[in-house]
A and B are shown apart, each in its own frame.
Chain A
Amino acid sequence: MKKQVSMVLAAAMTMSMVAAVPAAAEDITVFNSKMEIQTQMEETLQGDYSSTSGDKVTVYYSSDTVAAEMSKVYGSGSPYTVAMVDAKDIYSLAVEYGVDLSDQEWVANTTQAISVDGKVLGFPVCVEARGLIYNKTAIEDITGEEFVPENYKTLDAFKELLETLKEGGMDAPVAIMKEDWSLAAHYLAMFYEEREDVDAYIDALYAGEADVAGDARFNSLMDTFDVLKENNYAKDAPNAAVREDSEMFLADGDVAFMFGGNWDWAVMAEFDPEGEYGIMPVPQNDADEYYTLVGGGSKYFYVDNSENTTDAQREAGKALLNWFVFDEAGQDFLVNTCALVPAFSNIELEVADPLGQSVKAFADADMLTPSFNYMPDDHYAKLGQSMQSYLANEIDRAGLAQAVVDYWKSTTPVEH
């Protein structure tokens, strides 16, 4: 009896030793700044990935801004091993704190990585684009004919469609998110981005030399915004609209359009994963030139190089990045679990979600205006406040234009 027990024990110990051999077992932390996929990140990276790779991953999310979160973690000397940040943070943070990833195999498979001074610092998490999300079924139920987005390139055509929808019983066919990042970083920013030489225009803004109030792009986009505003379901209290409610209304077909991007799928899918949706460019009367979605690589991982992270942890972090690109489970996680459009050419999985498909279709047709990645840290917070005021009719268009001019004059240029 005793002998048996000891044999079992010995066997168990050998087993556990064997099992422990391949695992270098590093504790690493991952910062996720995409709220939509936090649940998925926690479940997969802390679950399956941790048990198969042997590295113990903990995923963090913060309701604070990325910039604030990162300055707190560096201030308190506890940086994340791998952090997902916005493009601008790669320039402001990773230049000092990022590991050079140039030697990584995935570098050859993407055009979206961020390099500074010849060093690859940012790993692109996905491709994202913004435009007007539509609920195809909801529109067709009222119009009775097939909805072809190309027929509504111009604002005039789009207005007519909205009238038809209203006559058909949809009182307010549009939802507008009041979140500052959506209003300022996504909508307002399009007027910087829809032009040949974006950098020159931004320089003019910094110098206070740009005529925003008389700018054709600004006025064209704001004309459309006024129409969206007029048809907003939350018109009476636009800044009280809750993002999840708007997405639910869109998914349920209570509204037909919402300005957003393919990241909204993660929330919409919770309400109606089977619905027919898509993203179309924001209608404008000088449509042909700017009939594109705006986007590109979005969210970047970098690996921390500070003294608080060990070499072994850095290697574990790099291994995680490779897993996303080259491991079947990692690819499946990106594309299917998180509904992201991957930024790597070797990933051949079909994008499953309808919004992602729209983005991919526009990207493949070369109809994607690149997003401008070098906004100052406070751009979306400060101009977001101005956009919220404009949304609530507290300032007029001239006031908004003035706020834009004043903001850029007051801020310091971002080096890139």
Chain B
Amino acid sequence: MIQDSEKALRRKRIIHTIMFIILIVVFFCFIFPFILVVINVFKEKSDIIREPLSLIGAKKGFTLANFPEAMVKMNFWTVFGNSLIITVSATILTLLFSSMTAFVIVRNNWKACVLLFSAMIASMVIPFQVLMVPIVSLYGGIFNVMNHRITLILMHVGFSLSMATFMYHGAIHTNIPLELEEAALIDGCTRWQTFWKVVFPLLAPTTATVAIIDAMAFWNDYLLPSLVLREKNLYTIPIATQAFYGTYSSDLGLIMAALILAMLPILILYLFLQRYIVEGVTSGAVKG
């Protein structure tokens, strides 16, 4: 019996070692593209074209010049600021509106609630391409409200509401006991106060998950922002990357620098918040 368990233990250790090696290899494959970009950002164009895999440029050697040039040409700080403002505002608004909506839907069986919730669920399978043309022609051609950050922010919120409401709906349904609210109501709270003082704080884990998923989606979205924001000083990072690539595709060194600039902010953030982000996404999965 003791021998048996020792054998099992040894077997387990071997399996773990094999898995560890596999994971290391897969991990290397996952970050290989990033490594390649990082190597090449310190080279000159002709060196990149001739030897993309060498560590240091053969002809012109090591250079740092790509970064400052790309930063200026990409108008990095403006673009970064736009992305930040848009992502933060859209995320906060989505959290507020979707949690409120989910609350009223879960707690009341009114026709309007059922109708709204069904429409939201149904809308989750609508590809953006279906709405792309009408949105451009409605809000551009008829209402003429394009080229404002606020337009994009509200559109982002409108698009992400269904998924967010759906997630809050699940969380309120399963995790918030009705008795708690009733107690608060008896204590003299209005529904509004009950929601903000009792329910919303209890939804913190869902809030974190929704915030992470939506913030990533807003930060990285390309097609919608590219249709709404057409002025250079309003560009977000994905639009600026795309425009930059179109203009300077001949200058690979600059392109590498631009790609790194586009990735860096979120990677730095991830370095600090990765535990919460991973946990947030994981815990969101169970309820969803």
Interface residue ranges, A against B (CB under 8 Å):
29, 35, 38-39, 58, 60-63, 72-78, 243-245, 248, 267, 270-271, 308
Contact A76:B246 (CB < 8 A) given known A60-B232, A245-B49: no
Contact A267 B250 (CB under 8 A): yes
Contact A76:B245 (CB < 8 A) given known A60-B232, A245-B49, A248-B46: no
Is B120 interfacial (CB 8 A cutoff)? no
Contact A77 B49 (CB under 8 A): no
Is B227 interfacial (CB 8 A cutoff)? yes
Is B6 interfacial (CB 8 A cutoff)? no
Contact A76:B231 (CB < 8 A) given known A63-B245, A245-B49, A267-B250: no
For window 222-277 of B, CB contacts with A under 8 Å fall at: 227-228, 230-232, 242-243, 245-250
30 intermolecular pairs with C-beta atoms under 8 Å apart? A29-B231, A35-B247, A35-B249, A39-B247, A39-B248, A61-B246, A62-B243, A62-B246, A63-B243, A63-B245, A63-B246, A63-B247, A63-B249, A72-B227, A72-B230, A73-B230, A75-B137, A75-B141, A76-B141, A76-B146, A76-B147, A76-B228, A77-B141, A78-B140, A78-B146, A78-B147, A78-B230, A78-B231, A245-B49, A271-B46
| Besides the known contacts A62-B243, A267-B250, 9 further A-B residue pairs in the complex with CB atoms under 8 A apart | A38-B247, A39-B247, A39-B248, A62-B246, A75-B137, A75-B141, A76-B230, A77-B146, A308-B144
CA distance A271 to B146 in the complex (A): 41
| Secondary structure dominating the interface of B | helix
Determine the interface band of chain B, counting residues with CB < 8 A from chain A: 20 to 34
Contact A61 B247 (CB under 8 A): yes
For window 98-144 of B, CB contacts with A under 8 Å fall at: 133, 136-137, 139-141, 144
Which of chain B's residues have a CB closer than 8 A to the CB of A267? 250
Minimal beta-carbon separation of B202 from chain A (angstroms): 42
Which of chain A's residues have a CB closer than 8 A to the CB of B248? 39
For window 140-178 of B, CB contacts with A under 8 Å fall at: 140-141, 144, 146-147
Contact A35 B137 (CB under 8 A): no
Which of chain A's residues have a CB closer than 8 A to the CB of B249? 35, 63, 244
Which of chain B's residues have a CB closer than 8 A to the CB of A76? 136, 139-141, 146-147, 227-228, 230
Which of chain B's residues have a CB closer than 8 A to the CB of A308? 144
Which of chain A's residues have a CB closer than 8 A to the CB of B245? 63
| Secondary structure dominating the interface of A | helix
CA distance A271 to B44 in the complex (A): 12
Q: Nearest CB to that of A29 among chain B residues?
A: B231
Top 3 nearest A-B pairs (CB, nearest first) are: A63-B246, A76-B140, A244-B250
Which of chain A's residues have a CB closer than 8 A to the CB of B133? 75
Contact B243 A61 (CB under 8 A): yes
Q: Nearest CB to that of B245 among chain A residues?
A: A63
Which of chain B's residues have a CB closer than 8 A to the CB of A60? 232
Which of chain A's residues have a CB closer than 8 A to the CB of B246? 35, 61-63
Q: Nearest CB to that of B250 among chain A residues?
A: A244
Minimal beta-carbon separation of A55 from chain B (angstroms): 16
Minimal beta-carbon separation of B239 from chain A (angstroms): 11
CA distance A253 to B120 in the complex (A): 62
Q: Looking at A29, A60, A78, which has the most chain B CB atoms within 10 Å of its CB?
A: A78
Minimal beta-carbon separation of B50 from chain A (angstroms): 9
CA distance A308 to B141 in the complex (A): 10
Minimal beta-carbon separation of A74 from chain B (angstroms): 8
Q: Nearest CB to that of A243 among chain B residues?
A: B250
